Amino acid sequence: MTTPKKLSPVERIKTESHGLRGTLKESLLDEITGSLREDDQSLIKLHGMYQQDDRDRREERTAKKLEWLYSYMVRLRLPGGFMTSAQWQSLHHIAGEHSTGVIKITTRQTIQLHGIIKSHLKPTLKAFDLQGLDSIAACGDVNRNVICSAHPNQSPAHKEIFQYAEKISLMTLPKTRAYYEIWLDEEQLADRNEDDPLYQDRYLPRKFKIAIAIPPNNDVDVFTNDIGLIAVVENNQLKGFNIAVGGGLGTTHGNEQTYPRLGTLIGSLDTEEKILKAVYEVITIQRDYGDRSDRKLARLKYTLDRIGVDAFKKELEHRCGFTLDTVRPFEFTDRKDFYGWQPGPDGKWHYTLFVENGRVLDDENVKLKTALYEIAKTDKVNFRFTGNQNVILSDIDDSDKDTIDLLLEQYALIQHTSQAGPVRKNAMACVAFNTCPLALAEAQRYLPSLISKIEPLLAKYNLQEEEISVRMTGCPNGCARPYAAEIGFVGTAYGRYNLHIGGDKLGERLNTKFKESLDESQILETLNELFAIFKNEKSGNETFGDFSHRKWISKN
Amino acid sequence: MLAEGKLKQLTQLIDGFSKEELIWMNGYLAGIAANGTRQDAGVIHTNEPKIARAKKITVLYGTETGNSKRIATTLASEGKKLGIRVKLNSLDQYRPEDLIAEEFLFLIVSTHGDGEPPASARSFYNYIHQTDTSLPDLKYSVLALGDLSYPQFCQTGIDIDERLQTLGAKAIIGLQKCDVDFDEEAKQWIHSVVNIKQTESSGPITKKDINLNGKSKTKKIYEGTIRSTINLNDKGSNKQTYHLEITSAEQIVYEPGDAMGIIPSNRKSMVDLIISLTGIDKDLIIETSKVTGRVEELLRNHLNICHLNIPTIRKYASITEHTIPDIRMDLVDLLLEYPLADKSLFGQVINLLAPIAPRLYSISSSPAAHGDSEIHLTVSRHSFHVNEDQRFGLCSDFLGELAAGTSLQFYIHKNRSFRLPESQLDVIMIGPGTGIAPFRAFLSERDAMGASGRNWLFFGDQHFSTDFLYQSELQNFSHTGVLSKISLAFSRDQPEKKYVQHKILEQGNELFQWINSGAYLYICGTKDPNSIDIENALLKVFEDHGKLSREESKNFLVMLENENRLIKDVY
Ligand code: SRM
Ligand SMILES: Cc1cc2nc3c(=O)[nH]c(=O)nc-3n(C[C@H](O)[C@H](O)[C@H](O)COP(=O)(O)OP(=O)(O)OC[C@H]3O[C@@H](n4cnc5c(N)ncnc54)[C@H](O)[C@@H]3O)c2cc1C
Ligand SMILES: Cc1cc2nc3c(=O)[nH]c(=O)nc-3n(C[C@H](O)[C@H](O)[C@H](O)COP(=O)(O)O)c2cc1C
Ligand code: SF4
C-alpha cells in the first residue's frame, strides 16, 4: 500500500475546531480588522459565509493606509430554492441594511448577499433567523444546498419530490450547535451531545453537492453533481429515483489530473427509506475514501475513478445492506426555464422571470428589486429560484393572477423578460470580479455586453432564434457550469477566455476546449466563422452543440 | 506585605485623606514605584511662610494649552519660597464674586480662537464685563500670552486689563504682553511681582517698561516641500482627511505633541473676483498698517478676506454707507451684496483687513521615527454651509489641494504640556477623528525609542470601512505590541450612534485600573462635541469604578489635570 500522505491544512482546522467553533467569537470581537483569524476564515465557510475583499480596491486602499476592504458573502441554505413572500421582504431589507444591496440568485437555487462587514454579520444572520432562514452548511466541506427542479408544473408529483430536497438537507446537517452560539447568541451547554455520526469531527474531504431532477427538464444540470437523483414518475406517481454519482466540474489550469466529469448512473431506488439511506452512505464512502491530502483531487468524482464504479457500487450496497435496482428509463428533452406565465397541475399560476446572471437590483432600465419587493408585499406569491439564476413567482391563485400581472406590467418586467433574446435568456455567468478571490477574468459583469456582440453575429446568419446555451466563468472552477454548455467561456487571465464547444443542450455531454486564451475580438472572430459554417452545414434541427461536436470535436 | 509598624504609620498617615486624594496617591505611588524617583508634580506646598510680614496674593490663570498655568505655578512657588501666601487657581474654578475681597491679584491669561479668551477664562471674562461692582481696593497685574502671528495679539489680556481699570482697580505693573517665546518676559514679570510683595510696598509702582511690542524674536519659519498628500478616507466616506508629508532641506526642530502653524493663501478665484468686482488695478501698490505690496499679492497672501469679524463689517458699512446687519461674511459676499460706489474706496477697505491668521495642525510624525527633516500632518477638510451653499475651510482645503512638489512655509508651535511621560509609564490616548494625529506621533516615538510603558488608544469616526485613519499602521503597532490595546467606536455602523465616550464607559473597569496604576491620559480632537462628552464619560468611570461621588469625581479629574496626568489638546 502507499504510505499515508500528509493531510491538507484544512483537515487540521476542521478537526481541531471544537465543532466548527474555532476562535470565531474572538475573531468577531477583534475590532482593529475587518478580517478573521486565518483558521476561522476556513471555518466560517461551514457556517455559510466567505471572507472576501473588494479586489478592485486593493491598491488604492493600501495607499490610504487602510487594510483591504474585507467583507463577507453570506449564502443561504434554501433546499430546492424556495422562499415565501415574507421571507423575500425581509431579505430585501436585510440586503439594503447590511450588504451591497444586490441580491444574487446563484446557480444552485439560493441567494447570496455580498459586502457585509464583520460587525454586520451577526445582525444579518439574526435577521434571517427571525424569518426561519439560515446559512448552515451552505459552503464548506459538507453537503451543500440540495437543489431540485424548480417549476411546479414539471409534474403532479413535484411537491412530493421537492420535499426530498428538504429531507436530504436536514439529514445531512452538521450536528454542532456552533452556528446558533456564534451568530445567534445561544448559550453554550457543556453537556450537549454533539456526536456527528455522518461528519464525525473531520467533515468531508471536500464540498459535496446533490441535485434532484424531474424529467423531462434537466434544469438542475443533475449530472454535474456528486449525487444526482432523477425522479421516476409513472402515471403521475413518484416511483423512485435513478441515482448518478461522481459528477463535478471544477478543474485547475495546468493541472492535468483535474477534469470535469458527469455523474455515472449506478441504479435506482424505490422507497424513501432506501433513497435516503443510499444518499447517506454515498456520503460516508466519500468521507472515508476521499483524498484528504490534495484538495484538488478530493471530490467524489476522483474517489470514484480511483476506486472504480463497480467497486464503489459494491461498497455502497454493502453499507446500505440492500442492492440497487437497475436504472429505470427516463428522458430529458430540455434544460431551461420556461419564461412567462405557466399554469400548474393544481390550478395555480407561475410566472418565470428573467434575471440576468441572477443579479437582482434596480438599474436605469429596470427596477427589478423594487418590483420584486412590491410583488412580495402582496403576499400572494412564493419565490422559487431556478438553477439558471432566475426566479419563478409561484403558487398564485387564479384570482390573484391579475394583481401580479399588473405589477409585472407596471415595472415593465414582462417586457424585460420577453425582449431578451434566446441566447441571453439561456446564458449564465458566475460572480467572478470584484468579490470572488479566485477570479482570473470577469464574468457576470462582462457576459451581458459580450452577448450584445454575439447576437448580431447570429442575426447575420439568421440564427437569432437558436437557443444556444452560453456560459461563462472567471476561472476554471466552473461555477456557472461552463463545461456543460454549448459554448463555454472559461477565464484564463484578465480579458482572456478559453473557448469550449461541443457540449449538448441537455447536460448529458460535456464540451471540449477548442481555443485557448482568446480576447474579445478573437472570440467574436472565431464565433463568426463557426456560425457561418454551422449555418451552411447543419442538418435539420441539429443544435449548435451537437453540430460542433460532430464537426470539430469528435473527429479529432 | 507591610510590617505592622509600617502599616500603622501608613494608616496614621492617610487618616483624614479624602477618597479622591487616596486614589490620587495611589497613582502617585505607582509612578514612584515605576520610576524609582519621587515626583514633585501636583504636590501643593502648604508649609507655613517663614517671613511673617509676607502678604497674601492671589494668582489666577486662564489657559488652553498649559502655558499660562505653568507661569502661574512658577510664580506661586517663587512667592512661597519668599514666604508669601499664595492662593493659586484656574479662572474657571475661581468665584469672580470674590474679586471684591482680593487685595493683590495676578492674572496670567492667553488668547485663543479669533482673539478670544481660552474656554477656561470665558466665564470670568464675561463676569467682569457684565458686573458694575467697582473694585477700588484691588491691585493687580495682567500677563498676557499670545502670538504675534495672530491679528488680535494678546487681545484677552488687553480686554481684562482694560476692564479691571474701568472697574477702578489699580494696575501695579502695567500689562505685560508676550509672544510665543515668553520665557524671558515671564521671568521678569514674576520677579517684579514677588518683589512688590516683599517690600510690602503697595503704593503705585512705576511700571518697568518691559513691553515687548515689536521686539519679538520672530519665530523660525521653515521652507518645506510637499512630498505627498493622500486622502485617508475611502470612497463613499462623508469626510476627507489628508495625510500630508512635508520635507525640509534643514533640520526641523520639534517634539511629538507639537503642532505646525501655517498661514494659508486665499483662493485665487476669490482674489480674482474681488479684483474684478472692485475694478482695482491688481498691480497697484498699497500700504497698510502691517504690510505693503501689490494689491493682488496682499489679497492673496497677507490679508484675511474670509469670514470678516463684526467690527470690520461695521467699518465697511460706514465706509460704503450701506446698512449691513451684524453678520460675519466673506469679503466677496460683502462686495456682491453691498457694492462699493466707487473703486477708489477699495483702498480704505483694504486697510480694514486683518492679516491672515495662522492655523495649527497637530504634528502626526515623530523625529525619532520619521527623521528630523520630515514632518506629517493629518488634516480634515473642513466643510460647512453658508445659506445652503457648501463651503470649505480655507486652510484645510488649501492643504488638501497642494500637489507633491509644492513648497510650503510653516513654523513649529510648541506645546510644552502635551508631552509623553517617562518611557516606562502607561499612556491612554483618546483621539477621535483628527485627534489621532499627535497619537500617531506618540506611538511612532515610543516604538522608535523602545519605550516599555503600555499604550492604549481610543479612536472613533463615522465608518469602520472608510474612516479608520491609519488603520494599517495601527495594526502593525498592535502586532508588534507597541499598541497594547485599542478601543474603537464607529458612530454610524449600527442603528444607534456610538462614540468613543461609549467605549470609555464600556472599558471603565480596566481604564480605571490603568489610571489607578499611574497611567497618563491624553485627549485630543475637536472640542465640540467630543472632548466635553469624553470628560463626562471619564467622570462616570471614576464614579462607577472608583466608587466616588459626582463631586469627588470632579475633584479627582481636576487633580489629574493639576498633576499633568490628564492633558488635553482640543480645538
Ligand atoms: C455563486 C456561485 C456562482 C454564481 O454566480 O451563481 C459560485 C460562486 C463561487 N464558487 Fe462555485 N459557485 C456556484 C456554483 C458552483 C458550481 C455549479 C453547481 O454547483 O451547480 C460549481 C461546479 C460544480 C462543482 O462543484 O464541481 C462550482 C465550483 C466551484 C469550485 C470548484 C470545485 C472543484 O471541485 O474544483 C470552487 C473552488 C473550490 O471549491 O476550491 C468554487 C468556489 C466558489 C467561490 C465561493 C469562491 C471561493 O471559493 O472563494 C465563489 C464565490 C464568488 C462570490 O463572490 O460570490 N466553486 N461552484 C454558485 C453558488 C452556488 C450555490 O448556491 O451554492
Ligand atoms: C492646537 C490645534 C491643533 C489642531 N490640530 C488639527 C489637526 O491635527 N487636524 C485638523 O484637521 N485640524 C486641526 N486643528 C484645527 C485647524 O487648526 C483649523 O481650525 C481647521 O483646519 C479649520 O481651518 P480652515 O482654515 O480650514 O477653516 P476656516 O476657513 O478658518 O473656517 C473655520 C470656521 O469658520 C467659519 N466660517 C469660515 N468662513 C465662513 C463664512 N464665509 N461664513 C460663515 N462661516 C464661516 C465656519 O464655521 C468654519 O467652520 C487644530 C487646531 C488647534 C488649535
Ligand atoms: C487656536 C489658537 C488660536 C490663537 N489665537 C491667538 C490670537 O488670536 N491672538 C494671540 O495673541 N494669540 C493667539 N494664540 C496663541 C496663544 O495665545 C499662545 O500660544 C499662548 O502661549 C497659549 O497659552 P496657553 O497655553 O496658556 O493657552 C492662539 C493659539 C491657538 C492654539
Ligand atoms: S468560476 Fe471561478 S471566478 Fe467564477 S465564481 Fe467560481 S470560483 Fe469565482
Q: Does B472 touch chain A (CB under 8 A)?
A: yes
Helix axes A300-307, A309-320, angle to 10 degrees: 100
Say whether A66 and B468 touch across the interface (CB within 8 A).
yes
- A206, A207, A384, A424: which one is catalytic? A207
Say whether A61 and B234 touch across the interface (CB within 8 A).
yes
Do the beta carbons of residue A345 and residue A158 sit within 8 Å? Answer: yes
B6: left (phi over 0), alpha (psi -120 to 50) or beta: alpha
Do the beta carbons of residue A113 and residue A106 sit within 8 Å? Answer: no
Residue A475: active-site member: yes
Confidence of residue B15 (pLDDT cuts 50, 70, 90): confident
pLDDT of residue B18: 78
Residue A55: active-site member: no
Burial of B422 per CB tally in 10 Å (0-12, 13-18, 19+): middle
Confidence of residue B47 (pLDDT cuts 50, 70, 90): very low
Residue A320: active-site member: no
Q: For residue range A393-451, what is the model confidence (pLDDT) as tens digits?
A: 999 999 999 999 999 999 999 999 999 999 999 999 999 999 999 999 999 999 999 99
Residue A144: active-site member: yes
Helix (H, G, I), strand (E, B) or coil at A292: coil
User: Which protein residues touch ligand 3 with a CB less than 6 Å away?
Assistant: B 63-68, 110-115, 118, 145-147, 150, 152-155, 180, 360, 571
As a whole number, mean pLDDT of residues B368-373 equals 96
Confidence of residue B23 (pLDDT cuts 50, 70, 90): confident
A207: left (phi over 0), alpha (psi -120 to 50) or beta: beta
Q: Which of B378, B360, B364, B382 is nearest to B239 (CA)?
A: B382
Say whether A66 and B472 touch across the interface (CB within 8 A).
yes
**How many Cβ contacts (< 8 angstroms) between chains A and B?**
52
What is the full DSSP assignment across B369-415?
Answer: HH-TTEEEEEEE--EEEETTEEEE-HHHHHHHTPPTT-EEEEEEE--
- The residues with which B455 forms a beta bridge, in sequence order, are B427
State chain A's mean pLDDT as an integer.
96
Confidence of residue A190 (pLDDT cuts 50, 70, 90): confident
For residue A170, give every residue at least 6 positions away whose Cβ sits within 8 Å of its Cβ, in sequence order, or none: none
B476 grid coordinates: 502593525
Q: For residue A459, what are the CA distances in angstroms to A452, A486, A550?
A: 11, 18, 23
Confidence of residue B28 (pLDDT cuts 50, 70, 90): low
Do the beta carbons of residue B262 and residue B361 sit within 8 Å? Answer: yes
Whose atoms come closest to the Cα of B64: which ligand?
A: 3
Alpha helix locations (H) across B464-507?
464-467, 471-480, 500-506
Q: What percent of chain B has pLDDT over 90?
A: 77
**Cis status of the peptide bond prior to B529, with omega within 30 of 0:** yes
User: B233 to chain A: which residues are within 8 Å by CB?
Assistant: 64
Say whether B232 and A57 touch across the interface (CB within 8 A).
no
As a whole number, mean pLDDT of residues A363-389 equals 97
- CA gyration radius, chain B: 26
* Alpha-carbon dihedral sign for residues B499, B500, B503, B508: negative
As a whole number, mean pLDDT of residues B262-285 equals 95
Instruction: Give CA–CA dist B158/B175, Å, rounded.
Output: 7
Torsions phi, psi for A440 (to 5 deg):
-105, -30
- A274, A436, A481, A538: which one is catalytic? A436
From B59, B67, B143, B150, the mutation candidate for ligand 3 (largest count of ligand atoms within 8 A of CB) is B150
Instruction: Give CA–CA dist B64/B54, Å, rounded.
Output: 31
Instruction: Give CA–CA dist A241/A244, Å, rounded.
Output: 10
Catalogue the E-assigned strands of B519-563.
520-525
Question: How far does chain B reach from its first CA to its final CA, in angstroms?
Answer: 47
A172 grid coordinates: 445531512
As a whole number, mean pLDDT of residues A294-316 equals 98
Q: B285-287 and B222-231 as β-strands: parallel, antiparallel, unpaired?
A: unpaired
Instruction: Give CA–CA dist A224/A210, Å, rounded.
Output: 9
Catalogue the E-assigned strands of A427-501.
428-429, 470-473, 487-493, 496-501
Q: Which of B107, B377, B351, B339 is nearest to B259 (CA)?
A: B377
Q: What percent of chain A has pLDDT over 90?
A: 96
Say whether A31 and B230 touch across the interface (CB within 8 A).
no
pLDDT of residue B267: 96
User: B235 to chain A: which residues are within 8 Å by CB?
Assistant: 57, 60
User: A31 to chain B: which residues are within 8 Å by CB?
Assistant: 486-488
Alpha helix locations (H) across A256-355?
272-289, 300-307, 309-320
User: A123 to chain B: which residues are within 8 Å by CB?
Assistant: 494
| Complex ipTM | 0.82
**Amino acid identity, position B99:** L
DSSP A53: E
Confidence of residue B27 (pLDDT cuts 50, 70, 90): low
Q: Does B470 touch chain A (CB under 8 A)?
A: yes
Helix (H, G, I), strand (E, B) or coil at A537: helix
B153 grid coordinates: 495679539
B171 grid coordinates: 494696575
Determine the atom of ligand 2 nearest the C-alpha atom of B360: 17
Say whether B486 and A31 touch across the interface (CB within 8 A).
yes
Distance (Å) from the alpha carbon of B362 to chain A's nearest alpha carbon: 19
Say if residue A229's pLDDT is above 70.
Answer: yes
**Cis status of the peptide bond prior to A242, with omega within 30 of 0:** no
Say whether A57 and B235 touch across the interface (CB within 8 A).
yes
For residue B421, give every residue at least 6 positions away whose Cβ sits within 8 Å of its Cβ, in sequence order, or none: B427, B453, B520
**What is the chain A residue with the closest CA to B464?**
A34
Instruction: Give CA–CA dist B178/B262, Å, rounded.
Output: 20
User: B240 to chain A: which residues are within 8 Å by CB?
Assistant: none
Torsions phi, psi for B513 (to 5 deg):
-60, -45
Helix (H, G, I), strand (E, B) or coil at B204: coil
A49 grid coordinates: 459565509
Rounded to a whole number, what is the largest CA-CA distance in chain B? Answer: 91
Weakest-pLDDT range from A436-450, A482-496, B43-57: B43-57
pLDDT of residue B7: 76
Instruction: Give CA–CA dist B156/B144, Å, rounded.
Output: 7
pLDDT of residue B125: 97
Question: How far does chain A reach from its first CA to its final CA, in angstroms?
Answer: 38
Instruction: Give CA–CA dist B128/B165, Å, rounded.
Output: 11
- CA gyration radius, chain A: 23
- The residues with which B407 forms a beta bridge, in sequence order, are B225
Confidence of residue B344 (pLDDT cuts 50, 70, 90): confident
Long-range Cβ contacts of B439-443 (<8 Å, 24+ apart): B439/B522, B439/B524, B440/B364, B440/B365, B440/B376, B440/B378, B440/B470, B440/B473, B441/B256, B441/B257, B441/B362, B441/B363, B441/B364, B441/B365, B441/B366, B441/B376, B442/B256, B442/B257, B442/B366, B442/B522, B443/B474, B443/B477, B443/B482, B443/B483
Torsions phi, psi for B47 (to 5 deg):
-65, 145
- The residues with which B245 forms a beta bridge, in sequence order, are B228, B376
Say if residue B211's pLDDT is above 60.
Answer: no
Q: Which residue's CA is the nearest one to ligand 2's atom 44? A: B307
Q: For residue A340, what are the CA distances in angstroms to A401, A415, A416?
A: 12, 10, 11
Instruction: Give CA–CA dist A199/A283, Å, rounded.
Output: 9
Determine the atom of ligand 2 nearest the C-alpha atom of B65: 1
Question: Which residue from B234, B487, B494 is facing A64, i.e. has the nearest CB?
Answer: B234
Say if residue B31's pLDDT is above 70.
Answer: no
Instruction: Give CA–CA dist B435/B458, Å, rounded.
Output: 10
CB-facing half-sphere around the CA of B465: CA atoms within 13 A: 23
Is the beta carbon of B396 within 6 A of some atom in ligand 2?
yes
User: B243 to chain A: which residues are within 8 Å by CB?
Assistant: 65
Weakest-pLDDT range from A376-390, A409-423, B19-33, B297-311: B19-33
Q: Which residues of A257-286 are buried (b: 16+ CB within 10 A; e: fewer)?
A: ebbbbbbbbbbbbeeeebbbbbbbbbbbbb
Q: For residue range A27-83, what is the model confidence (pLDDT) as tens digits?
A: 999 999 999 999 999 999 999 999 999 989 999 999 999 999 999 999 999 999 999
Confidence of residue B55 (pLDDT cuts 50, 70, 90): confident
Residue A550: active-site member: no
Confidence of residue B547 (pLDDT cuts 50, 70, 90): very high
Say whether B234 and A31 touch across the interface (CB within 8 A).
no
B370 grid coordinates: 520619521
Q: Which of A450, A372, A359, A465 is nearest to A411 (CA)?
A: A372
As a whole number, mean pLDDT of residues B291-315 equals 95
Q: Which residue's CA is the nearest one to ligand 1's atom 25? A: A248
Do the beta carbons of residue B197 and residue B57 sit within 8 Å? Answer: yes
Percentages (nearest 5) of helix, strand, coil residues in chain B: 40, 20, 40
For residue A62, give every residue at least 6 positions away whose Cβ sits within 8 Å of its Cβ, in sequence order, or none: A68, B472
**What is the chain B residue with the closest CA to A115?**
B465
What is the full DSSP assignment across A206-251?
Answer: S-B-EEEEBTTB-TT-GGGSSEEEEEEEETTEEEEEEEEE--B---
Confidence of residue B343 (pLDDT cuts 50, 70, 90): confident
pLDDT of residue B37: 54
